[in-house]
Amino acid sequence: MSIQTGTVAPDFSLFDTDKNKVTLSEQKGKNVVVLFFPLAFTGVCTAELCNVRDNITLYNNTNAVVFGVSVDSLFSLGKFREEQKLNFQLLSDFNKDAAKAFDVLYDTFPAFEMQGVSKRAAFVIDAEGVVRYAEVCPTPGDLPNFEAIQQTLNSL
């Protein structure tokens, strides 16, 4: 069942590229943007995350922490983060627990018939842990609506 606005976000604990465990419920008091993306080192994913990198001040100004989440290993995500000079954490959902909890896992990814790849999706979670914005992109080639994400953050 897809995550709806107004519901409490499912909790998860994932490792970041610095090998620290990050737990969503421990972010209370901050707004959180969770960006699920299919695969590191791909064109659309790079464009998406570099857009966030280039506009990180907008997120910082709304007391928001951004997490990019992918099923890639934390090691490949670390290399991707380093190469793209990303200024926010990437979290490895290698076991696909978060993608399943947020209901954003492809049965079969459209490219190359891969199974277990997360859909591109964006969630804004307020300081109390409630989902205030939820978007699952129709295709992997679509980007989230960054303007709507910012409007949501500005309203919190």
pLDDT digits (tens, 9 = 90+) for 114-133: 788 999 999 999 999 999 99
The catalytic position among 14, 45, 77, 131 is 45
Spatial separation of the C-alpha atoms in residues 36 and 118, rounded to whole Å: 7
Q: How far apart are CA 71 and CA 150, in angstroms?
A: 25
Q: Helices then strands (H, E): number in the chain?
A: 5, 7
Please report the pLDDT score of residue 1 as a whole number.
60
Q: Taking the CB of residue 61, how many other CB atoms lie within 10 A of it?
A: 11
Q: What is the mean pLDDT of the chain?
A: 95
137 is catalytic: no
Looking up tokens 């993306």 gives: 37
Look up the CATH architecture of domain 13-155.
3-Layer(aba) Sandwich (3.40)
